[in-house]
């Protein structure tokens, strides 16, 4: 698998699938949660990394927060820039290479992107976000790739239908590497498009230890934006972290 498969994957039909999969109500609910755990004052400066087409960024900017979105997908960044007239900063770039120092009150990584990072990438990402946050700033991560979530009920194949788009996911797990290779096949109007991806599976404890290595402490381990505690079999992990207020990594 090429190291930057995301650049080729996140274009065209794959982005159409993602747009169809997420409702406006889901975006509002997630924004309510992010505002509650990250924006502990009005007009907070928040970082969405990676931001996709900016659905959370626009919603939170509309609530008065100062928003910045970073994403590697040129197509999504172009879409995001045209989605709102609000004063939002959009940056096309790598989530692990952030140019800011102690500028944000909070940051978040929602969706599937956290799972695309191997252990080295996770450590680099945590360090990059820690560098961009003000001391005491919070960081919220959502992922379905915690071992306690994904492995117990992993299916070899799954079909999805979203509007006129059909999608097949085929999973192959490699225990020695902790890597889950997923091949997606998109079918629309008799056109078939197959694209490979790789994600990495870590236990919740491993993720928390890597976060601690970058100066974060764990505030909450949740199973959804509704606030229930995370437990074995929860489909998603939401990890709320806080950067040390005493020192920077």
How far apart CA 232 and CA 69 sit, in angstroms, is 32
Give pLDDT tens digits for 52-99.
Answer: 999 999 999 999 999 999 999 999 999 999 999 999 999 999 999 999
**pLDDT for position 29:** 97
Q: How confident is the model at residue 14 (pLDDT cuts 50, 70, 90)?
A: confident
pTM above 0.85, yes or no: yes
Geometric angle at alpha carbon 21, from 143 and 73, rounded to 5°: 70
pLDDT score for 3: 55
Residues 6+ apart with CB under 8 A from 233: 148, 149, 152, 153
Confidence of residue 178 (pLDDT cuts 50, 70, 90): very high
Q: Domain spans of the chain?
A: 5-145+201-243, 149-199
For residues 58 and 152, give the distance between their C-alpha atoms in angstroms, rounded to a whole number: 35
pLDDT at 160 over 70: yes
Q: Which tens digit of pLDDT belongs to each residue from 95-143?
A: 999 999 999 999 999 999 999 999 999 999 999 999 999 999 999 999 9
Instruction: Decide yes or no: CATH 2.20.25 for domain 149-199.
Output: yes
Q: What mean pLDDT value characterizes the chain? A: 94
Q: Is residue 89 within 8 Å of 46, Cβ to Cβ?
A: no
**Does residue 9 contact residue 75 with C-beta atoms inside 8 Å?**
no
The yes or no reply on domain 5-145+201-243 and CATH 3.40.50.150 is: yes
């Amino acid at each position: 698998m090429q190291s930057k498969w995301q650049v080729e994957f996140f274009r065209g039909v794959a982005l159409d699938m993602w747009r169809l999969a997420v409702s406006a109500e889901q975006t509002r609910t997630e924004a309510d949660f992010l505002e509650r755990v990250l924006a502990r004052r009005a007009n907070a400066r928040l970082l969405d990394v990676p931001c996709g087409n900016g659905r959370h960024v626009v919603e939170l900017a509309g609530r008065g927060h100062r928003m910045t979105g970073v994403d590697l997908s040129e197509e999504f960044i172009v879409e995001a820039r045209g989605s709102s007239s609000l004063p939002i900063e959009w940056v096309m770039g790598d989530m692990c290479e952030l140019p800011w120092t102690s500028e944000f009150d909070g940051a978040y990584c929602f969706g599937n992107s956290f799972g695309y990072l191997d252990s080295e990438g996770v450590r680099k990402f945590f360090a990059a976000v820690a560098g961009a946050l003000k001391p005491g700033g919070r960081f919220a991560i959502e992922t379905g790739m915690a071992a306690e979530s994904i492995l117990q009920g992993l299916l070899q194949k799954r079909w999805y239908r979203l509007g006129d788009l059909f999608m097949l996911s085929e999973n192959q797990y490699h225990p020695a590497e902790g890597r889950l290779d997923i091949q997606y096949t998109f079918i629309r109007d008799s056109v078939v498009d197959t694209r490979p991806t790789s994600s990495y599976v870590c236990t919740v404890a491993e993720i928390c230890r890597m976060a601690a290595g970058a100066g974060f402490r764990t505030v909450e381990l949740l199973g959804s934006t509704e606030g229930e505690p995370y437990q074995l079999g929860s489909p998603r992990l939401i990890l709320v972290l806080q950067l040390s207020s005493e020192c920077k990594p």
